Structure 1
């Protein structure tokens, strides 16, 4: 218990900083797709690229499994996979933001920080920026451009398609030079 005392203020400050940074909508938020059919969006997604995030190690890859629930929201399981094959998962819920045609979701993860700091802002923290017409590839980011994921229903996509999505993210103002690429892993 004594070891947690010096760490607790740092964790609280980190969580508070994250919460505060997510509260303000930027003046020029990125454009999203026009609409999303959540039934088609559900399924298993593989992370092909992402900006670094504090909750996932740089050498980990991830999957996200989305399932529609009876309330019309999405239950999710995000799993980080280490190079040695070990896994750790978190669960949560994605709720469509009113008026966004399901292109913006408010994702809440069932963890310690979410319980303390509450759910994300009303404009959502998971914006679908680009989506293949067959729902096989999606580019997802936060409106403040701090997080970005390239997801696909397969573990790998052609390099030309990967580069096209990265180029599109750059036009939206995301810092693509920092992307961690997992295509094919």
Structure 2
């Protein structure tokens, strides 16, 4: 009993160490419900709060799809160092944490015991863009269904700022030319 408890405490301590600065001391609750069928598919990362697990990643995409067991498949892809760099793929799973809105998920890339929050804070009515964060204000992703333009980046950054996020912490993600 004591060893598992120590492992959990150590894991929580390591998680606190790898998290970045707080970009929003009072993160908002998700603005609207999410239709998971419409949210599924490919998203291009426009910008993010840079984290250890995404260091050096460019050309980042995330794909969501329904799994046979009812969970959501999460497939993150990045190019190491440049938009034409070596491909790095991480596969995880997500489960709905708030069935009333489907806007809060728990996502894991590391097995059944380590789930992180994934909140769809806001999205376009047509699901052309999405802003994702979580309750600590340390994580933020700006996502688009298409390769982002400068106008897309500016609009999403302004929306994140309106939600209370420190946009000076955003790292623009380079994407390949269309």
Offset at residue 78 of structure 1 (A): 0.6
Aligned residue pairs: how many?
162
1:17 aligns with 14
Q: Cα deviations across residues 93-148 of structure 1 (Å, max 9, x unaligned)? A: 11111344110110111x3xx56xx223xxx6111111111111111112111111
- Give the Cα separation in 2 of the matches to 1:29 and 1:152: 21
TM-score when normalising by structure 1: 0.75
Q: How does 1:19-168 map to 2 (within 5 A)?
A: 28-58=26-56, 60-82=58-80, 83=82, 84-109=84-109, 111=110, 114=111, 118-120=113-115, 125-157=117-149, 159-168=150-159
Maintained 8 Å contact 2:47/2:173: yes
**Is the alpha carbon distance of 1:67 and 1:59 closer, same or farther for their aligned partners in structure 2, counting shifts above 3 Å?**
closer
Maintained 8 Å contact 1:155/1:183: no
* Structure 1 stretches lacking a partner, 5+ long: 1-11
Are 1:174 and 2:165 matched, yes or no?
yes
| Off by >6 Å, runs of 4+ in structure 1 | 12-15
TM-score when normalising by structure 2: 0.78
Offset at residue 58 of structure 1 (A): 3.9
**Is the alpha carbon distance of 1:50 and 1:100 closer, same or farther for their aligned partners in structure 2, counting shifts above 3 Å?**
farther
Please give the root-mean-square deviation of Cα atoms over the aligned residues, in Å.
Answer: 2.8
Tell me, what secondary structure is at the counterpart of 2:37? Answer: helix
Tell me, what secondary structure is at the counterpart of 2:38? Answer: helix
Higher percent of residues as strand: 2
- Give the Cα separation in 1 of the matches to 2:32 and 2:123: 10
* Structure 2 stretches lacking a partner, 5+ long: 1-8
